[in-house]
């Protein structure tokens, strides 16, 4: 019996709940829009997420068979708790890790909490669309050869915009150096179920893969999976770290949602064949665009992007470059005029996320809106795009030490040349542009101002980074302790 079935059966039983949660499933006095009757705690017959031996273990075993992993864990605190647990399980305090600069902020938080020294990999840049490309195997090989202290490689694939790296080759390189590979595949839980989509990192040799089910598949928000492959990561050590970072009161509604999603994936053709047909029809319609462009769609193709190893066609990256519109302006236009809400917008592009649950009507509305905007938008001289991070900032202190040191707020325009005591990021996607311990360059300040002017929301650890940044005075020798 699956979890949701058992929850429904239990809700109809005469059992009286002298236990959490406090609503006691009193449907007569509760908001009927929520499924209170299915919301329980760890009672007899419903297993325990942190020591599974019954129905939850069965569900996770089914997930492992479905994704072909050695062991799969249910996550109800999103991919974030999986990333934190994975980094801490694979490293010791003070270790050195090799990580893509475009990693999610949860990776940076793990680096900070663990006191790790990060060595960054900068991806190549695709100037035509203003997005980062893949991390190359050659870059990983060079970094591992140049720094034998590295104990873990951390990559994001696919990226927020759908760009994938050559995980199979990178896994082989990492393993040859005796180093495990962690892949943040939060945006790729749908991969590997249809040959027309790229393969998942789970099947390509990664040692830990973290996926957000809710991002690209039909599952409730916060639901995710953690997969272990190979033998380089001790599953008991990983489970121990999950117990640290994941709630001790997991939602059975969320876990039931995970099981429901996995059940659908047992018949992938029923989901992915119609989905692929919708994507193909959309791509055909996009061939009519004259000014706007959609990445690897319509007249554009992966062959035009040598910075990409592979691309996930579920991501619709719409470029406004050369039109006079910014990405945020296009997003606002689609929202206000066409009632279409996109996932994010930045610089000269906006991102629409699709899934197996999108409808013919939804794709038709989007293609019609883009064609209408395209017809009303003339070509204009395009300003040269620049990366979100123009160059890798100089690291003066490791993040853990910088974040713990006393800092003081400094007006942002006056921060050039100082050392940051905080992070700055755009959300979405939640990728830090500046990390504690890094130099605040004039180039970064100009880039930050440009993003603000484009309508991109920037966030910092201590309020609005547009007004002030928290900085360190490294002239005080006590700081080095």
Mean pLDDT of 225-251: 97
State pLDDT tens for residues 122-171. 999 999 999 999 999 999 999 999 999 999 999 999 999 999 999 999 99
Give the confidence band of 476 by pLDDT, cuts at 50, 70, 90.
low
Predicted structure pTM score = 0.93
Which homologous superfamily is 399-480 in? Molybdopterin biosynthesis moea protein, domain 2 (3.90.105.10)
For the ranges 132-146, 181-195, 412-426, 464-478, the lowest mean pLDDT is seen at 464-478
Q: Residue-wise over 413-443: b if at least 16 C-beta within 10 A, else e? A: eebeebbbbbbbbbeebbbbbbbbbbbbbee
What's the DSSP call for residue 8?
H
Query: What are the angstrom distances between the C-alpha of 296 and each of 134, 160, 197, 211, 283?
Result: 15, 15, 13, 23, 9
Count the neighbouring beta carbons within 10 Å of the beta carbon of residue 374: 18
State pLDDT tens for residues 348-387. 999 999 999 999 999 999 999 999 999 999 766 544 444 4
Q: Given this model, what pLDDT does residue 428 score?
A: 79
Helix (H) / strand (E) containing 473:
none
User: Does pLDDT of 481 surpass 70?
Assistant: no
Q: Given this model, what pLDDT does residue 466 score?
A: 86
Instruction: Give the pairing of strands 181-184 and 125-126.
Output: unpaired
What is the CATH T-level fold of the domain 268-376, as seen in this structure? 3.90.1150
Q: Given this model, what pLDDT does residue 453 score?
A: 84
What's the DSSP call for residue 51?
S
Instruction: Give the pairing of strands 468-472 and 408-411.
Output: antiparallel
For the ranges 239-243, 324-328, 365-369, the lowest mean pLDDT is seen at 324-328
% residues pLDDT > 70 (the chain): 96
Q: Given this model, what pLDDT does residue 430 score?
A: 82
User: Does pLDDT of 463 surpass 60?
Assistant: yes
Mean pLDDT of 236-262: 97
User: Does pLDDT of 388 surpass 60?
Assistant: no
| 431-434: strand order across its sheet | 431-434, 424-426, 458-460
Establish whether domains 68-243 and 399-480 are of one fold: no
User: Does pLDDT of 443 surpass 80?
Assistant: yes
Helix (H) / strand (E) containing 431:
strand 431-434
Domain regions of the chain by residue span: 68-243, 268-376, 399-480
User: Does pLDDT of 450 surpass 60?
Assistant: yes
Q: Which CATH architecture has domain 68-243?
A: 3-Layer(aba) Sandwich (3.40)
Burial class (CB in 10 A: 0-12, 13-18, 19+), 327: buried
Residue 129 CB contacts under 8 Å (≥ 6 apart), including other chains: 293, 295, 305, 317, 319, 321, 348, 349
Q: Residue-wise over 93-107: b if at least 16 C-beta within 10 A, else e? A: eebbbbbbbbbbbbb
CA angle 419, 425, 430 (to 5 degrees): 140
Q: Residue-wise over 201-219: b if at least 16 C-beta within 10 A, else e? A: bbbbbbbbbbbbbbbbbeb
Query: What are the angstrom distances between the C-alpha of 293 and each of 285, 297, 324, 338?
Result: 12, 8, 13, 18
Q: Given this model, what pLDDT does residue 302 score?
A: 94
Mean pLDDT of 66-91: 98
């Amino acid at each position: 019996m699956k979890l949701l079935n058992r929850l429904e059966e239990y809700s109809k039983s005469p059992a009286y709940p002298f236990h959490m949660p406090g609503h006691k499933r009193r449907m007569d006095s509760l908001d009927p829009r929520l499924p209170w009757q299915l919301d329980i705690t760890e009672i007899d017959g419903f297993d325990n997420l942190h020591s599974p031996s019954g129905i939850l273990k069965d569900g996770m075993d089914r997930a492992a068979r479905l994704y072909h992993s050695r062991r799969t864990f249910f996550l109800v605190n999103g991919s974030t708790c999986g990333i934190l647990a994975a980094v801490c399980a694979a490293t010791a305090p003070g270790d050195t890790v090799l990580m893509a600069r475009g990693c999610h902020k949860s990776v940076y938080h793990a680096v900070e909490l663990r006191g790790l020294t990060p060595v960054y990999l900068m991806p190549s840049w695709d100037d035509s669309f203003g997005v980062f490309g893949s991390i190359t195997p050659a870059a990983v090989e060079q970094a591992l050869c140049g720094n034998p202290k590295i104990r873990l490689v951390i990559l994001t694939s696919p990226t927020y915009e759908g760009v994938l790296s050559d995980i199979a080759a990178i896994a082989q390189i990492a393993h040859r150096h005796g180093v495990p590979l962690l892949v943040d595949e939060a945006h790729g839980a749908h991969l590997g179920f249809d040959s027309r989509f790229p393969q998942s990192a789970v099947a390509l040799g990664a040692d830990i893969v973290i996926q957000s089910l809710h991002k690209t598949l039909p599952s409730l928000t916060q639901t995710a999976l953690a997969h272990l492959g190979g033998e380089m990561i001790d599953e008991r050590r990983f489970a121990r770290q999950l117990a640290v970072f994941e709630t001790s009161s997991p939602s059975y509604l969320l876990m039931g949602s995970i099981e429901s999603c996995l059940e659908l994936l047992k018949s992938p053709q029923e989901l992915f064949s119609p989905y692929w047909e919708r994507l193909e029809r959309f791509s055909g319609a996009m061939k009519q665009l004259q000014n706007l462009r959609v990445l690897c769609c319509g007249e554009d193709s992966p062959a035009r992007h040598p910075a990409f190893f592979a691309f996930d066609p579920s991501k619709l990256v719409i470029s406004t470059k050369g039109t006079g519109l910014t990405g945020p302006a296009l997003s606002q236009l689609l929202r206000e005029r066409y009632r279409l809400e996109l996932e994010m917008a930045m610089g000269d592009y906006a991102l629409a996320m699709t899934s197996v649950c999108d409808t013919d009507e939804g794709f038709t509305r989007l293609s019609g809106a883009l064609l209408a905007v395209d017809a009303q938008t003339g070509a204009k001289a395009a300003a040269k795009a620049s990366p979100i991070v123009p160059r890798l900032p100089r690291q003066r202190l490791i993040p853990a030490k910088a974040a713990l040191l006393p800092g003081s707020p400094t007006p942002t325009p006056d921060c050039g040349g100082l050392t940051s005591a905080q992070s700055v990021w755009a959300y979405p996607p939640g990728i830090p542009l500046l990390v504690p311990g890094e130099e605040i360059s004039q180039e970064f300040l100009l880039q930050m101002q440009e993003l603000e002017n484009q309508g991109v929301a920037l966030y910092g650890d201590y309020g609005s980074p547009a007004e002030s940044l928290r900085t360190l005075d490294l002239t005080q020798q006590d700081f080095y302790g």
